[in-house]
Amino acid sequence: MAQNDAKKALATKLAQLQLKTDGAAMADQLTGSAVQPIVAGWSQRLDETVPPARQKDVRDKLDVELKKFADNTHKAVEAQVGKSAEAALVPIFMEKLSEDEMKTIIAYMESPASAKLQALGADATDAWAKRIIETTRSQVEAGAKTFESAANRIVGAAGGSGSGGSSPAKK
């Protein structure tokens, strides 16, 4: 019984460290997942139903409401991130990790080396992303042009005009 209590204490500590490390990013990601479909749906609906001359005004008003929704959603999600960490993570850690593994992970997560790696995270991720962008730019741009051409043909054929007008990506 004492061994199980010690393992549970380690699992709880590990869950708290995981919350500290990943909680804010989790809240941001889940909020974005809730907001993005709404933005996409209303953006398309706006383009389809509101005359171009009124779209900026309508977009500005929608942006105010969207910000309210995003802020409220983020607050709700953020509150649950903290409340749910232990309940979700402790059973997994108890099942999948030994006490020695948890001790090793906790020691690392509390170490200066871990703090230094976490501090480098944004810079390292940015450098990595920039490298990927640089090496894939021509391929992505060519693919986007191919898509735009195909989309213009499809929309033009459906609408009865030849060129399809300006592309949505350039609005």
At 107-149, the pLDDT tens digits run 999 999 999 998 898 898 889 889 999 999 999 999 989 988 9
138 and 59, same structural domain? no
Distances from the Cα of 62 to the Cα of 41, 43, 51, 57, 58, angstroms:
12, 9, 15, 9, 6
Q: Give the pLDDT of residue 96.
A: 97
Percent of the chain with pLDDT over 70: 91
Gap between the terminal Cα atoms of the chain: 65
Residue 164's pLDDT band (cuts 50, 70, 90): very low
Structure tokens at 115: 């703090």
Structure tokens at 149: 């051409």
Residue with the two structure tokens 């008003």:
61
Q: What is the mean pLDDT of the chain?
A: 87
Show the DSSP H helices in the chain as ranges.
2-49, 52-96, 99-109, 112-159
Residue 36 lies in a domain: yes
97 and 17, same structural domain? yes
- Which residue, 76, 91, 110, sits at the end of a domain? 110
Residue 115 lies in a domain: no
Cα 84 versus chain centre, distance: 19
28 and 60, same structural domain? yes
* Host domain of residue 148: 121-171
Eight-class DSSP state of 144: H
Map residue 1 onto helix, strand or coil.
coil
Q: Give the pLDDT of residue 109.
A: 94
97 and 158, same structural domain? no
